[in-house]
Amino acid sequence: MKTIRNQSLIAAALACALAAATAPAQDFLGGDHPLTLAPADEPAGGGAAAETKEGEAQGGLSAEELAKIAQNPVANMISIPFQNNFNFDVGPNKATQYLLNFQPVVPITLNEDWNLITRWITPIINQPSPAPGVRSAFGIGDINPSFFLSPAKPGALIWGVGPTTTLPTATDSMLGAGKYQVGPSAVVLRIQGHFLFGALANNQWSVGGWGPKNQNNFLLQPFFNYNLPGGWYLSTSPILTANWNANHRDMWTVPMGGGIGKIVKVGGKLPVNLKLAAYDNVCTPRNASDWQLQFQIQILLPKALFTKN
């Protein structure tokens, strides 16, 4: 049976923390060159969307525009997310695995027409013993760099394509596959009024390494966001995965759920995206996690931070 009482207590505690963090929030004050970092201050998708009175008065982006940028995987802005994941009820021991994904996103301007969006996901994992006789583990998992070629001036449909790889960097054999992996990745999205929605997908195959099992893994992440006044938003972005080499019973992980987020301003200038979400795994391999709680802190670095007022 799932620990519904514990779920409620933990979710309530993190919701209180999110509300407390937003209380002191203040307003944001506010020639391309080849192969340069591109901390752009354009709204998500590079469009010329009208700014709010707040954004116009301060010469910066409105809270809703910053929220849309934070929700766009190929936005032309440097961001530094720290994604905290609590995976509950792992294995017969019903262990709680903690996974911190450090995943900085750095856009590079190639020319006036194209950007290269780079994202490196570095997982830090604490895995208690999931079953009798199985030891615990702590350390860095396999690092996953991705690269998206994306138009600098997209139309209504925003997209990016490129390779994704997994490097066998795990500091413990329990925390990684021990295989070099590579495959294609693509993302597509649209922004319509307060809505931002789309999907990211990739598939990777092992091409070498010392791990005992070959890898053939699929990932699909649909996302849907509705942006509210004051930088608040509702969001769902479940990550569906499939291990094509596993038997049918253990092939898919399918979570369902969602959460809420808000853009806050630290020190009156630095925008930070806070998000709290919960997902129930309606389909999962045997002995995998039943449900997940996620709390993300994402630092946004718009161009206005690097210019003098």
pLDDT at residue 40 in the model: 40
Specify the pLDDT at position 209: 96
Distances (CA, A) of 157 to 53, 160, 188, 206: 27, 10, 7, 32
CATH value at residue 33? 2.40.160.40
pLDDT digits (tens, 9 = 90+) for 198-254: 999 999 999 999 999 999 999 999 999 999 999 999 999 999 999 999 999 999 999
Domain that holds residue 114: 4-306
3-state secondary structure of 19: helix
Look up residue 143 and give its two tokens. Answer: 């690092």
Contacts by residues 254-260 (CB-CB < 8 Å, ≥ 24 positions apart): 254/281, 254/282, 254/283, 254/284, 255/279, 255/280, 255/281, 255/282, 255/292, 256/280, 256/282, 257/292, 258/234, 259/234, 259/235, 259/294, 260/18, 260/232, 260/233, 260/234, 260/235
Check residue 50 and give its pLDDT: 33
Q: Low-confidence residues of the chain, pLDDT below 50?
A: 1-59
Q: Give residue 238's pLDDT.
A: 98
Write down the pLDDT at residue 62. Answer: 87
Domain count, the chain: 1
In Å, the largest CA–CA distance within the chain is: 62
User: Distance between CA atoms of 160 and 75, rounded to whole angstroms?
Assistant: 10
Q: Which residues of 129-150 are buried (b: 16+ CB within 10 A; e: fewer)?
A: ebeeebeebebbbbbbebbbeb
Q: What is the pLDDT of residue 194?
A: 95
Q: Are 67 and 59 in contact (CB under 8 A)?
A: no
The first and second tokens of residue 54, run together, are: 């707040």
